[in-house]
């Protein structure tokens, strides 16, 4: 299997070198190691409320930097706030750890279901939910009956195919990944993050921004 590669820019943002000590053969040996970066990301949503433009901070999540606009878009999609690319008028990253999503004029997001404590860790996708009812979601695009159909022999091969598309894991050995495959087993999109739910949100955001969701 060939090793996946990452650009120098993505490595600089997502991977950090640290000094560690390894105990082996009765001796302590100093080593340099690479670990994934985990930093907070604040997601802000701008929308019209009457004649005023309102900007609201909807969440702060711990994530691995990289694909931040996709992460914010995917988060708002999986929370039921966004439904299509047309609802987004503008996207920006005014600071390294801040993303702002501006909704199109006239869009009136229903934020009642987004009852979070405005902070989630990378290890938990539902930690900030205010109630059990808020955890339940309704599929916006239910799958048609009997589809997709996959070969039983194909399913065990998918993890290895995803692993081949994980450059940051190749450097650190400590990142989750989410991959989207078609029914033939072709990998369409792969994203990495210290948080499993973040990796999924990055993937969902990428597809929504490309206009290919569902």
Active site (catalytic) residues: 124
Phi, psi of 13 (to 5 degrees): -85, -30
Q: Under a CB-based contact definition with an 8 Å cutoff, are residues 93 and 69 in contact? A: yes
C-beta of residue 18 within 8 angstroms of C-beta of residue 74: no
Give the contacts of 7 (CB within 8 A, at least 6 positions apart): none
196-209 and 68-78 helices cross at what angle (nearest 10)? Answer: 90
User: Which tokens hold the place of 53?
Assistant: 């433009």
DSSP sequence for 195-210: SHHHHHHHHHHHHHHT
DSSP state for residue 189 in the 8-state scheme: E
- Report d(CA 87, CA 109) in Å as an integer: 10
């Amino acid at each position: 299997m060939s090793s996946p590669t990452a650009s120098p820019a993505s490595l600089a943002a997502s991977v950090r070198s640290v000094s560690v000590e390894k105990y082996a053969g009765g001796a302590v040996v100093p080593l340099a190691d690479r670990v994934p970066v985990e930093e907070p990301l604040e997601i802000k949503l701008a929308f019209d409320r009457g004649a005023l433009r309102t900007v609201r901070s909807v969440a702060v999540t711990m994530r691995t930097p990289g694909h931040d606009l996709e992460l914010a878009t995917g988060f708002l999609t999986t929370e039921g706030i966004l439904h299509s690319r047309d609802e987004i008028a503008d996207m920006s990253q005014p600071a390294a750890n801040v993303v702002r999503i501006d909704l199109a004029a006239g869009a009136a997001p229903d934020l009642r279901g987004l009852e979070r404590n405005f902070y989630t860790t990378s290890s938990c996708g539902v930690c900030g939910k205010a109630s059990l009812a808020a955890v339940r979601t309704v599929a916006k695009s239910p799958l048609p009956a009997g589809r997709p159909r996959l070969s039983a022999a194909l399913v065990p091969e998918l993890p290895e195919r995803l692993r081949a598309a994980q450059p940051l894991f190749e450097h650190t050995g400590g990142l989750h990944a989410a991959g989207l495959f078609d029914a033939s087993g072709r990998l369409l999109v792969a994203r990495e993050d210290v948080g499993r739910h973040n990796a999924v949100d990055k993937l969902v955001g990428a597809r929504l921004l490309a206009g290919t969701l569902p």
